[in-house]
């Protein structure tokens, strides 16, 4: 019998023994110093390599929006407001972003920003969460009862995961030159603990409280990661004995987690019809998943764990997977990890493979299925650790048999053990050399680009800051400085596109598309910069262009700073007076496509609007394409004589003169939280295409005020979550007291 054949059943026996509760006399074990040294080395490597992340430079990717949310949260907290109920004005013509989006990370960092500043809080949270992730992976592995050495191997590999898509639990997903999916980074800490405590809670009810806590936290921090936290609760009760007991524990866990996270999920469901689907990505693999064939090829060829280098982690995942399958009947932990690995892969296949069957997943139309590959990466790290542990034990057996210094007679000798462990560690380090070299090069590139950006900020950044300060002072309209789909990415401050740079300066802009859950986010993607009518529709008063570039519409030059020029478009502001000339049908799935004919027409230029039947409740409504979009000749319309906008506080007002029965349009994304008064009396709001807020007004001079108020039932939901947390804390205290009482332990 070979060493591998003898190692597998022995490992299975050890795994089963570790799953049993420890007797009181065994609870105090020596600390695994060697394992902690490995974890400390992995964390220290990250702290050193990623130090460029703390540099105060504008952000290059999606992190620009996340940092802006942190800035907004700090501002609202400092004024005694709750960001959840406030209007977030800066992107997509505004939205209740903190309600529709996973905003708990921004609020936590925003609170920290009260002490250290929001930008510092954002950057250091990214740096510390990413660099210290091996700690969380180690803790997760120990919760699955893996040996300290195996858990340390999982932690040592965790910083070096690299996939083809780059959006999983890996460095490229978060750093400055990566994708910047910052909210997912927070959930990368809670998901491993949610899995670990869930696995224990299904067997031992003493772990239900921490399991509920970490599952609910994962849901609140990042919605798609929340699905991964819930998925094992559905499958794990059926892979071990005492199914009914485990199902009962699973039911308690799900109900507890959903009640604790209700302050996030209930408003999301309540306002779900006002959150659009992403029409641009809806029929692409980004939303539908890459399918079974493509992901399977990536898995086999190393593109899930080792993209761009030798597939060392992939090979260890394979060894661990085979070992767990060999001992399937005896190793419950192996079964748990393998099943969650497979389930995450199936979820990542998405509707590309399963078509309409994905409808069994709640809110499947709003999910980016490709993100579920991160769950397979986490489970794969556990499998890779098991594979490394199996190889290590096999090497140990070979050393003790064939190397005299560590032979059976000297096994208790520390020198022999030290030699064996040292040799195994050397082999492990050598195996990781391709990953170390790859990430060393990547992080050097990160540091170089951040350094270049710091230099650009001191020159080009100051020039753009002058223009942004002028716009902020006037506060009379939005800014346009290009889009990702046109010349915007090449018009930069250093490496950062100007439309991204403006996000760090609290500028209300049009251009950084598909960032929010506002109803105007899809129509914004189809904004036509060559159509003069689109500028008043989107409330764009200012253009920032490269010096020497002619504006696409009539505009007046305001100032020039180096290679950046500020232009203003006359008679454009947040509030316009217009008239309704037709009616169309729209819903949250087709706002963008329905808007294309309107955005290419001359109706907006003549202040002529289409009323919207949202959801298609009227049989007389039609599509914009079927309407005659030629402006009518009804004569001059009314005008705005005075206006004031403070959208960050959810308010805008104007004095208008209407020549006849007309409408007053606020260039802000429609939401049922918008209310209005006309001369001090309540006025009913309506939606006009693409998805703007408006009210009807009779002829004459009138004063109009728009106000936004958010979801009203947060206090009740906070009380529910608080009661759940207090109950869980009391339960956990009682459990700890029972554990510390020898008499109760004996009972």
What pLDDT does 621 receive? Answer: 46
What pLDDT does 247 receive? Answer: 95
What pLDDT does 739 receive? Answer: 73
Strand order in the sheet with 540-546: 509-510, 478-480, 540-546, 564-568, 556-561
When pLDDT is cut at 50, 70 and 90, the band that residue 432 belongs to is confident
Q: Do 135 and 43 meet the contact criterion of CB atoms below 8 Å apart?
A: yes
pLDDT of 618 strictly over 80: no
When pLDDT is cut at 50, 70 and 90, the band that residue 26 belongs to is very low
Find the Cα–Cα–Cα–Cα dihedral 420, 425, 428, 432, rounded to 10°.
-160
What pLDDT does 1 receive? Answer: 44
Summarize the confidence of residues 554-580 as an average pLDDT. 95
What pLDDT does 200 receive? Answer: 95
When pLDDT is cut at 50, 70 and 90, the band that residue 747 belongs to is very low
When pLDDT is cut at 50, 70 and 90, the band that residue 63 belongs to is very high
Model pTM score: 0.91
When pLDDT is cut at 50, 70 and 90, the band that residue 731 belongs to is confident
What pLDDT does 431 receive? Answer: 85
When pLDDT is cut at 50, 70 and 90, the band that residue 19 belongs to is very low
- The two structure tokens encoding residue 462: 């100051």
User: Which residue reads 């002829």 in tokens?
Assistant: 699
What pLDDT does 402 receive? Answer: 67
Q: Identify the H or E element spanning 64.
A: helix 63-78
When pLDDT is cut at 50, 70 and 90, the band that residue 17 belongs to is very low
The pLDDT > 90 percentage for the chain reads: 80
What pLDDT does 407 receive? Answer: 52
When pLDDT is cut at 50, 70 and 90, the band that residue 393 belongs to is confident
What pLDDT does 608 receive? Answer: 93
The CA distance from 204 to 309, in Å, is 42
pLDDT of 740 strictly over 80: no
Question: What is the chain's mean pLDDT, rounded?
Answer: 90
Find the Cα–Cα–Cα–Cα dihedral 20, 23, 25, 30, rounded to 10°.
20
The CA distance from 153 to 73, in Å, is 39
Q: Is pLDDT larger for residue 424 or for residue 577?
A: 577
Q: Is pLDDT larger for residue 720 or for residue 27?
A: 720
What pLDDT does 28 receive? Answer: 45
What pLDDT does 403 receive? Answer: 63
Q: Could you tell me the sign of the dihedral formed by the alpha carbons of 295, 299, 302, 304, in that order?
A: positive
When pLDDT is cut at 50, 70 and 90, the band that residue 115 belongs to is very high
Q: Do 154 and 374 meet the contact criterion of CB atoms below 8 Å apart?
A: no
What pLDDT does 501 receive? Answer: 96
pLDDT of 444 strictly over 90: yes
The CA distance from 678 to 683, in Å, is 6
pLDDT of 3 strictly over 80: no
CA–CA distances in Å: residue 614 to residues 246, 268, 519 = 45, 19, 11
When pLDDT is cut at 50, 70 and 90, the band that residue 638 belongs to is confident
Q: Do 219 and 231 meet the contact criterion of CB atoms below 8 Å apart?
A: no
The CA distance from 576 to 32, in Å, is 69
Summarize the confidence of residues 165-193 as an average pLDDT. 96
Q: Do 78 and 114 meet the contact criterion of CB atoms below 8 Å apart?
A: yes
Q: Identify the H or E element spanning 271.
A: none
Summarize the confidence of residues 584-608 as an average pLDDT. 92
* 592 closest CA partner among 672, 668, 527: 527
pLDDT of 544 strictly over 70: yes
Question: What Rg do the C-alpha atoms of the chain give, in angstroms?
Answer: 29
Summarize the confidence of residues 397-416 as an average pLDDT. 60
Among 370-384, 405-419, 512-526, 628-642, name the one with the lowest average pLDDT.
405-419
When pLDDT is cut at 50, 70 and 90, the band that residue 179 belongs to is very high
Provide the β-strand partners of residue 675. 707
Summarize the confidence of residues 9-25 as an average pLDDT. 44
pLDDT of 21 strictly over 70: no
For 360-510, where are the alpha helices, taking DSSP H only? 373-402, 414-456, 462-474, 498-501
| Maximum distance among all Cα pairs of the chain, rounded to whole angstroms | 105
CA–CA distances in Å: residue 311 to residues 91, 293, 371, 423 = 41, 19, 21, 22
Q: Is pLDDT larger for residue 463 or for residue 735?
A: 463
The CA distance from 70 to 63, in Å, is 10
Q: What is the pLDDT of residues 278-323, one digit of tens each?
A: 999 988 998 999 999 999 999 999 999 999 999 999 999 999 999 9
Q: How many CB atoms lie within 10 A of CB 1?
A: 5
Find the Cα–Cα–Cα–Cα dihedral 727, 729, 732, 734, rounded to 10°.
-70
pLDDT of 25 strictly over 50: no
């Amino acid at each position: 019998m070979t060493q591998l054949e003898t190692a597998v059943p022995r490992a299975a026996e050890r795994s089963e023994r570790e799953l049993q509760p420890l007797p009181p006399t065994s609870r105090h074990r020596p600390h695994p110093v060697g394992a902690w040294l490995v974890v400390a080395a992995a964390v220290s490597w990250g702290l050193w390599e990623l130090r460029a992340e703390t540099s105060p430079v504008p952000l290059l990717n999606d992190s620009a929006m996340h940092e802006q949310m942190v800035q907004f949260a700090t501002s609202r907290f400092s004024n005694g407001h709750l960001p959840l109920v406030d209007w977030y004005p800066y992107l997509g013509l505004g939205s209740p972003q903190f309600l529709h989006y996973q905003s708990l990370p921004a609020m936590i960092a925003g609170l920290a920003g009260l002490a250290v500043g929001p930008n510092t809080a954002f950057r250091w949270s990214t740096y510390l969460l990413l660099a210290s992730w091996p700690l969380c992976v180690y803790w997760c592995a120990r919760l699955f009862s893996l040996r300290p050495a195996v858990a340390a191997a999982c932690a040592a590999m965790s910083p070096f995961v690299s996939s083809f898509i780059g959006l999983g639990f890996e460095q490229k997903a978060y750093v400055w030159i990566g994708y910047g999916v910052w909210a997912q980074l927070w959930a990368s800490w809670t998901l491993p603990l949610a899995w670990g405590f869930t696995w224990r809670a299904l067997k031992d009810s003493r772990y239900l409280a921490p399991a509920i806590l970490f599952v609910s936290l994962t849901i609140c921090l990042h919605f798609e990661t929340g699905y991964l936290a819930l998925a094992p609760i559905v499958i794990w009760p059926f892979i071990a004995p005492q199914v009914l007991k485990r199902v009962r524990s699973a039911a308690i866990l799900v109900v507890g987690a959903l009640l604790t996270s209700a302050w996030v999920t209930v408003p999301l469901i309540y306002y779900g019809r006002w959150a659009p689907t992403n029409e641009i990505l809806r029929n692409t693999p980004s939303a539908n998943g890459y399918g079974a064939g493509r992901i399977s090829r990536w898995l086999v060829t190393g593109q899930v764990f080792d993209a761009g280098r030798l597939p060392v982690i992939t090979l260890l995942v394979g060894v661990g997977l085979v070992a767990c399958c060999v001992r399937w009947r005896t190793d419950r932990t192996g079964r748990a990890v393998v099943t969650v690995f497979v389930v995450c892969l199936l979820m990542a296949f998405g509707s590309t493979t399963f078509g309409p069957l994905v409808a069994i997943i709640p809110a499947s139309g709003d999910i980016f299925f490709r993100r579920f590959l991160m769950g397979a990466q986490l489970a794969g790290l556990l499998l890779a650790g098991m594979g490394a542990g199996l190889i290590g034990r096999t090497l140990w057996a070979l050393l003790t048999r064939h190397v005299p210094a560590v032979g059976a007679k000297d096994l208790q000798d520390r020198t022999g053990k030290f030699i064996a462990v040292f040799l195994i560690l050397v082999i492990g380090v050598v195996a990781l050399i391709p990953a170390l070299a790859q990430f060393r090069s990547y992080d050097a590139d990160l540091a170089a680009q951040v350094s270049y950006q710091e230099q650009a900020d001191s020159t080009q950044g100051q020039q753009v800051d002058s223009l942004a300060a002028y716009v902020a002072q006037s506060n009379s309209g939005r800014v346009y400085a290009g889009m990702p789909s046109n010349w915007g990415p090449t018009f930069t401050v250093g490496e950062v596109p100007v439309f991204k740079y403006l996000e760090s300066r609290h500028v209300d802009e049009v251009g950084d598309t598909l960032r929010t859950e506002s109803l105007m986010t899809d129509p914004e993607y189809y904004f036509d910069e060559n159509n003069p009518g689109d500028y008043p529709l989107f409330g764009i008063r200012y253009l920032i262009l490269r010096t020497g570039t002619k504006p696409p519409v009539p505009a007046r030059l305001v100032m020039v700073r180096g290679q950046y020029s500020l232009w203003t478009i006359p008679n454009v502001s947040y509030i316009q007076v217009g008239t309704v000339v037709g009616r169309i049908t729209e819903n949250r799935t087709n706002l963008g496509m329905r808007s294309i004919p309107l955005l290419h027409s001359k109706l907006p230029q003549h202040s002529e609007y289409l009323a919207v039947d949202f959801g298609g409740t009227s049989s007389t409504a039609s599509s914009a394409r079927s309407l005659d979009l030629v402006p009518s000749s009804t004569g001059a319309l009314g005008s705005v004589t005075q206006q004031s906008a403070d959208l960050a506080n959810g308010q805008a007002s104007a004095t208008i003169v209407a020549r006849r029965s007309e409408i007053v349009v606020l260039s802000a994304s429609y939401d049922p939280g918008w209310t209005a008064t006309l001369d001090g009396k309540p006025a009913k709001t309506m939606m006009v295409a693409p998805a703007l807020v408006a009210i009807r007004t009779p002829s004459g001079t009138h004063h109009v005020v728009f106000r936004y108020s958010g979801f009203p039932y947060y206090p009740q939901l906070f009380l529910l979550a608080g009661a759940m947390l207090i109950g869980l804390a009391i339960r956990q205290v009682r459990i700890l007291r029972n554990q510390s009482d020898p008499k109760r332990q004996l009972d």
